[in-house]
Amino acid sequence: MKRIYLDYASTTPLDQKVLKVMWPYLQNEFYNPSAIYKEGVEIKKKVSEARAKIAHILNACSADIIFTGSGTESVNLAIRGVVSAYKNANPEKMPHIITSVIEHSAVLEVCRSIEMLAMAEVTYLSVDENGKVRVEDVENALKEETILVSVMYVNNEIGTIEPIKEIARRVKLWKIDKKRNVEDYPFVHTDASQAGNYCLLDREKLGIDLMTLDGHKIYGPKGVAMLYIKKYIPCSSVIEGGGQENGLRPGTENVPAIIGFAKALEIAQEIKEKETARLTILRNYFFDEIQKILPEVKINGSKEDRLPNNINFCIPNINAEFLVLELDAKGIACASLSSCENLNSESVSYVVASLPQGKECARSSIRLSMGRGTRKEDLKAVLKVLPELVRKARF
């Protein structure tokens, strides 16, 4: 039975062109970039070239690209690192963070941990009916003690593209109004892990100060990610060790993965427009067809400001987890919530539940996320089996 993979938001297959550039560094070119002999120096140059390639795509300085072992680590470095640096310099003050209720668990859990340790106060902003953070809510939440605003670029479950550019602009205007310099708090961080294949990544045009990107979301290897962080931003390492990555991420560099990550991001940018157009057509086709065969279906997230590959919908009164398992039995791999949430006992999408109308759909929503291997025939196969499976999955 041919399997149909529709969980590209969870992880993507390794592009063969990426594997090709990684391969020498998995075999013969194994040297440590910190070594001072010839082979080590050559490897260090290759890491520097990969860093420069990524910096060019982000319109950033190479020195501002910090490689990490995962998107989660990048987020921890961005949030915990900035808070720790502030607390070290201002032990008597209580800093303030602004984020949203629909962030990835990497953001939410580190914020809760910081709160529990009394390291910072956190404001969790609600979202509108499309899953969008209201820019005015960010502006209203800003206060003298705010040091960081962390709002994701794209939601990983419902695909809504957040108004990051406008949020960053409002924060900048707030600083101007308070007669603060650009180098002053608060800073703006965005988790762009889901944005790498389809969205603008120019940090200057976005106006952000810190950005997280993850290799395995863009057809690159697992075990590598990055944090863009402006050099003037105070930040402490969250792990102890050597002086790699400007002292912010100790540990021997994962050379093959770093080189693969740079190649994957390069490919993603080259085919971004073509893939966006192709997948938008497929996404809209599916939404039109499913509402014909199942009129009760509700679309979760924005229909306009949405990733082209994201299909998230609610079928009232069905058990989504059971439906995912039934689809799996039919050879279709999809999800009912973020893969990271499967590690917890709670199998309800907190993202969908956070929508004003979403509580009734929290247990009844399905996410199909498409990718480079998705064809119209794959979606037709899903549409063909859904009505029968929905009847079986009813409460």
Res 339: pLDDT: 56
Res 250: pLDDT: 94
- At the second CATH level, the architecture of 16-270 is 3-Layer(aba) Sandwich (3.40)
| Whole-number average pLDDT of the chain | 95
Q: Are strands 146-150 and 225-229 parallel, antiparallel or unpaired?
A: unpaired
- Please give the positions annotated as active site: 340
Would you tell me which CATH number, out of the four given (3.40.35.10, 3.20.20.150, 3.90.1150.10, 3.40.50.720), belongs to the domain 4-12+272-393?
Answer: 3.90.1150.10
User: What CA–CA distances, in Å, run from 176 to 16, 170, 173, 179, 255?
Assistant: 48, 10, 5, 5, 41
| Partners of 67 in beta bridges | 226
Res 237: pLDDT: 95
User: pLDDT tens, 110-123?
Assistant: 999 999 999 999 99
Ranges of the chain whose pLDDT falls below 50: none
Domain range list for the chain = 4-12+272-393, 16-270
Res 394: pLDDT: 81
